[in-house]
Amino acid sequence: MIRRQLITRNRRAAILLAAVTVVLGVAAVHVSVWWFSPGVMILPVLAGGLLLWPRALRILFGVVAVMLAYDTVEDRAGAGIIATVVITGLFADVLARTRKKLGMQGLRGDQMLIELKDRIRAQGRLPVLPEGWGSASVLQPAGGASFGGDFVVSACDGKTLEVALVDVAGKGLTAGTRALLLSGAFGGLLGSVPKEEFLPSCNSYLRRGAAPEGFVTAVHLALDLATGEYLVTSAGHPPAAHFDAGTGTWRMTSARGIVLGVVPDLRCVPERGVLRPGDALLLYTDGLVEAPGRDIDLGTDRLLGEANRLVTSGFRAGAEGLVSALHGGAGSGDDCALALIWRI
């Protein structure tokens, strides 16, 4: 019966931490307060916040309180030490309750977030294209977060490349969790439905869900790698930019549409074109062109001005610099993403 009661890791950890606390409290009185200061009880309290469920943690708090009272009576603990342990206990309690909601103990929740970050980063990398084509993508969440509300999904079967750049309302970690959910759904639709039906299918998926949590914009590119013919479809997203090597200029495409998840029947006005040798297509999110108190047209002009430098420096080498120049100086603090495809 004792073995069954103590079989859980939570109970074993609680008993061990309680025993350590008792040893520290008694040793402070009978061995040496120099080596076993009552303030060292902070360590089992912090360990309890990481390893114990809230109920077991509060039992540990009771043991700590008893040992602090004992050390106080024996003149080994002062008000400063007691206040420090109490404040540490409050933080540990918040930590334990947060991990209880996740259903994870220790650092498993952090490890899960790291794996999710690596997954969305890997998904944001564009596939290797056949000879004669190049591509680059950049994701830069707001506030230095690991992931945000902008993401890229892509699929390539060797003949056709499909890329979708999506912007979820919000920024940083607030929009990051929803972006993680949608990236899996949109990535599954990409290449599984006809290219003309991709954005309407995404819209239907969002409409089937619960109440909207904010708008979602997207731009979708379907590119024939043999002929260079492309189809760009947009749903409330900033227009893609097409570089024409013949004239040496960038122009904005005319693809337009309503944001996803708003109307039941999504109708988009796509644009068809051809990428000839030296041409490029630039997909981006509004974090690169929008800033508080500034007209979006000025941001778009600045984007095209910076994009002209890519022609001389090289598209692959200049993609990161383009994002740094625009996102670093915009002052918007918004997520941003960029996908660039060019024909060599």
Assigned domain for 200 exists: no
pLDDT at residue number 110: 65
Asked whether residue 27 falls in the same domain as residue 62, the answer is yes
* 13 class by beta-carbon count within 10 Å (0-12 exposed, 13-18 middle, 19+ buried): buried
Record the pTM: 0.74
Domain end, chosen from 106, 137, 158, is at 106
Asked whether residue 139 falls in the same domain as residue 273, the answer is yes
CATH code at position 141: 3.60.40.10
pLDDT in tens, 105-131: 656 666 666 776 677 677 778 889 999
pLDDT at residue number 25: 87
Asked whether residue 43 falls in the same domain as residue 180, the answer is no
Domain end, chosen from 72, 106, 140, is at 106
Asked whether residue 235 falls in the same domain as residue 316, the answer is yes
Residues 190 and 126: their CA atoms lie apart, in Å, by 13
Residues 301 and 288: their CA atoms lie apart, in Å, by 11
Residue 98 is part of which domain span? 2-106
SS3 31: coil
- The angle that helices 315-330 and 296-313 make with each other, rounded to 10 degrees, is 150
Asked whether residue 163 falls in the same domain as residue 89, the answer is no
Helices (DSSP H) in the chain: which residue ranges? 2-5, 9-30, 42-51, 54-73, 79-102, 108-124, 172-189, 198-208, 296-313, 315-330
Asked whether residue 250 falls in the same domain as residue 123, the answer is yes
Assigned domain for 239 exists: yes
Assigned domain for 251 exists: yes
Asked whether residue 43 falls in the same domain as residue 83, the answer is yes
Q: Which residue has the tokens 């379907």?
A: 222
pLDDT at residue number 173: 63
pLDDT in tens, 212-249: 567 899 999 999 999 999 999 999 999 999 999 999 99
Asked whether residue 6 falls in the same domain as residue 91, the answer is yes
pLDDT in tens, 285-325: 988 887 766 777 788 888 888 888 887 777 887 788 888 87
Span 54-81, mean pLDDT?
A: 88
pLDDT at 329 > cutoff 50: no
Q: Where are the beta strands (DSSP E) in 145-300?
A: 150-156, 160-168, 216-224, 229-235, 241-244, 249-252, 256-257, 268-269, 271-274, 280-284
Q: What is the mean pLDDT of the chain?
A: 84
Total domains in the chain come to: 2
Assigned domain for 241 exists: yes
Domain end, chosen from 106, 140, 166, is at 106
pLDDT at residue number 8: 67
pLDDT in tens, 29-56: 888 878 888 888 898 998 888 888 888 8
Asked whether residue 240 falls in the same domain as residue 327, the answer is yes
